[in-house]
Amino acid sequence: MALQIRILKQNNMKEITKEQMIEAMEKYPPSNYVTTLYRIFGKYSEHPIKKWFIRIEIALFGLGFLFTALGLNHTIVGIPTILFSLILVVVVIPLFIAHFINVSRSRKMAKYLGIKRRELLVYILMYDLNEGV
């Protein structure tokens, strides 16, 4: 803890307690939309939907690459390529929206605590409160 306090003083950061952080997180909880998407597609998630999504995308990419390498008609090559793109867009756009909602939430929490968002992220790591902020 002494090292953490020294880092805070070196960077002129306002000292925030773990209780204040928890209070801010409770005041601005993540939306169900964000928690659901992070639960399914999060970095360490092993959700079946995520696994199937990855398998389907790899298969479609492989088919598109194989068809192109074999020199098949552009219409045949386009089928897996367009499916790959559509599925990717259907998943990526909601994830972008969830990310921006979560950034907005972390900005509100930082404003509530009177610190910058960057400092908020330091405190979240310091107090081991990482919930995808």
Please report the pLDDT score of residue 15 as a whole number. Answer: 81
Give the residue numbers spanning the domain of 22: 16-126
What would the mean pLDDT of 47-54 be, rounded to a whole number?
92
Determine, yes or no, domain membership for 8: no
Determine, yes or no, domain membership for 10: no
Please report the pLDDT score of residue 130 as a whole number. Answer: 66
Please report the pLDDT score of residue 3 as a whole number. Answer: 60
Give the pLDDT confidence of 100-116 residue by residue, as tens digits.
999 999 999 999 999 88
| Total of domains in the chain | 1
Give the pLDDT confidence of 82-98 residue by residue, as tens digits.
999 999 999 999 999 99
Give the pLDDT confidence of 57-89 residue by residue, as tens digits.
999 999 999 999 999 999 999 999 999 999 999
Determine, yes or no, domain membership for 11: no
Determine, yes or no, domain membership for 132: no
Determine, yes or no, domain membership for 121: yes
To the nearest whole number, what is the mean pLDDT of the chain? Answer: 87
Please report the pLDDT score of residue 104 as a whole number. Answer: 94
Determine, yes or no, domain membership for 81: yes
Determine, yes or no, domain membership for 1: no
9-41 per-residue burial string, b: 16 or more CB within 10 A, e: under 16: eeeebeebeeeebeebbeebebeeebbebbeeb
Determine, yes or no, domain membership for 98: yes
**Overall pTM surpassing 0.85 (yes/no):** no
Cβ-count burial of 102 within 10 angstroms (0-12 exposed, 13-18 middle, 19+ buried)?
buried
